[in-house]
Structures are given as C-alpha cells and as structure tokens.
Amino acid sequence: MDNNKYDYDEDNYYNDYDYNNPELSTDSSTSSASESSNNSMNINDELDQEQNDFIPNLNELKEQLVQPIKPKSFVSNLTNQTIEDNFELALLRWIHLIFSMDNLIIFDNLNKYMDLTNGLCLELNDFFIDNPVVMLDSEFYYSDTGIIYREKWFDLLSNRNFFNYKNTDLDTNINVKKGIYPSIENFYKFLENFFPKLTFEKENQNDQIKLDIIYSKLNFNFDSLKLVYATYRSIDNGMIHSCSIQNIIINNDSPLFVWENMSIKEIDNTNSNTGTKEFFSDSELRYY
C-alpha cells in the first residue's frame, strides 16, 4: 500500500516512529562521503542484528497468541443465506486476543468492566459461557461448529439500535445478510454498551488518546499493550476511500497485529443535497 497517495489525518495519527517508512539519515554538513558510508554500514549492521534478535521473539509470540481469521463470508446452515460478518469476525478475534489465555476465555478479565445487572452484559457473558474455547482460525471456515459459532455471534450483534449497519438497501439480493459497518465509531459503541464500566473520554479527545486509555485498561496478559492509530482518506474519480487502522503492539516496539477498517463511498449528485452512497467496506484483524 502506497501511503504517500493518501492524506493522513495528523490529529489522529500518533507516531513516534513511522513503522511503514523507517528512515535513517546522516548530516551531510558534518560528515564526509566516506564517513557517511561507514556510518550507514554500521547502522545497517546494527539493524540487521536487531532484526535477527527480534524475529524469533516475534514468531514465538505469534505461536502463543490467537491467529487472525480472514474475513470470508459464510453460508448459514439454518437459512442458506450468505452472511457478511467481516467486522463481527474481527471484533470476535480481538476479544479472544484481549480476554483469553491458553485458548480459554478468562471470565475475571471479561467481567471486570461489565455490569452483570445489565441485560447486554449478561448476553455477552452468556455467549462466552456457552463458547469459552478459542478455536483455531481454520475451524471458523471449515467446521460446522465454527460456522454455528459465527452465526450465533453475528445474531448477538444484529439489530442493535446503537450500531451503524451496512446499507442493505443497495443490495437487492435477499440471500445476503450484511452486518455492522466497519468503523472506529462502532468499535467504541461496542465497548460503551457491552463494557459500561470501561470509562474513557468520549468527547473532546482525538482517537489516539481514547485508544491509549482503552488499551491501557485492557492489558491483562502482556508485559505491555500499546496502540498506534492511523487514518487515511482520498477522493478519486468520484469515490471517497477511507480507512482507520489500529496497530496493536505487544511486548515490544513494533506492531504485531493490525485491525483495518476500510470503506469506499460514491459521491451522489443525483439530488440537490450532495451525499454519498455506500459502495464497498471491509474489516480485517491480521498480522502486521
């Protein structure tokens, strides 16, 4: 992905280090060509050594944690409809990452920011009581148990008045069920309603600050859990391309997981008030 073609929202892009475009430079005004060359060689040697030291630790950490699930639609065993659950599936795997250990949901952690007198919290808690095991990623595609699990999770999050859903009016295919619209706002709505004791400033703060607060409170299992948030937006041939990215950093200084929500909207000039029509959207939690 060529990040240079997009306009980044600098207010929401918190970045002490550019993970996509790391650059090193020498001061040409104080270094000769030979000195600069030697310095570059030394720096590259150091970077190569750091990378060699780092990769085994990164691979070991991947083995210990949940594996991402690719956002592939599935066909319901009950209705024979195709279900598009990309945001729901990414959210499910995010919950597994945060609240599980040794392939089991840890309920002390899950319940910490719930109010178990609240109906929504009870529904979420009961769902994981019935489904406490964190399955392999492949089981969500190829096993009946995994498909049933996904459909129950999809149904739990459906028809909630606090979520924004994909615009089904644009698709006349009644055999396709569409889910939650992938956005950072719907991520916040999920936390606000299912984890009401997880307090974070909802107004007058940029997304990076909000997410810093959220992730600091949800670190149950790691030496450190941090996040770098980025957005981009561009307009091309009447289409608005936008994306929000959560770079999830665990136990080190480089991201391990990326949760990307993206959308394409068509500029609609068919009436007096210019608006947009939903064209495409996707969500995926994947390795960085």
pLDDT in tens, the chain (288 residues): 443 333 334 344 333 334 344 333 333 333 343 443 444 445 445 444 444 444 557 888 888 899 999 999 999 988 899 999 999 999 999 999 999 999 999 999 999 999 999 999 999 999 999 999 999 999 999 999 999 999 999 999 999 999 999 975 555 567 888 999 999 999 999 999 999 999 887 666 899 999 999 999 999 999 999 999 999 999 999 999 999 999 999 997 789 999 999 999 998 876 555 578 888 999 999 999
pLDDT for residue 27:
35
Is residue 36 classed as helix, strand or coil in its secondary structure? helix
pLDDT for residue 156:
98
167 with 84: CB under 8 angstroms? no
pLDDT for residue 181:
96
What are the distances in angstroms from CA 102 to CA 64, 66, 95, 124, 202? 8, 9, 14, 20, 33
Hey, what amino acid is at 3? Answer: N
Handedness of CA 83, 157, 192, 181 (dihedral sign): positive
Q: Determine whether 201 is exposed, middle or buried from the number of CB atoms within 10 Å of its CB (0-12, 13-18, 19+).
A: exposed
pLDDT for residue 59:
83
CA–CA gap between residue 232 and residue 274 (Å, rounded):
22
pTM: 0.79
pLDDT for residue 171:
55
pLDDT for residue 3:
39
| Residue 178 in tokens | 């569409």
Q: How many Å from the N-terminal Cα to the C-terminal Cα in the chain?
A: 13
